[in-house]
Amino acid sequence: MGYCCRENPSVEYSGFQHLGRLAMKRPWEANPSASLARRLGKSAAELGATSGGSGCPDIWELDNGDIAIVGRDLTTDYQGRLPGDVSIAADERLVVIPRAMLLAAKPDIPDV
């Protein structure tokens, strides 16, 4: 198994942290039953970041407070050029969204 955190090699892709013989769940897991609650910022159409077809980037707050990002999956493209303290687990993806989309979402993101 590979490691998902280079600074802490005891954290593994499997979703469990192994400390000797004791296995513990990762500190955070995505909840697949959470619902999309509200868009953060503006839609891709409002920002001119879409041609009107399918596959528009987006940022959503889930009903449990987590954030969902819809973007281009560039995991493979970035895999060999990640900074030393960044890694991508087998169940994670590196997605890219337009800068304007995140800037437009900034007022909707609370400070705490």
State the pLDDT at residue 14. Answer: 43
Q: Per residue in 79-93, is it b (16+ CB within 10 Å) or e — as a string?
A: eeeeeeeebbbeeee
Domain ranges of the chain: 30-108
Among 92, 75, 93, residue whose Cα is nearest residue 12: 92
State the pLDDT at residue 74. Answer: 97
3-class secondary-structure state, position 102: helix
pTM above 0.85, yes or no: no
**Which residues in the chain come in under a pLDDT of 70?**
1-24
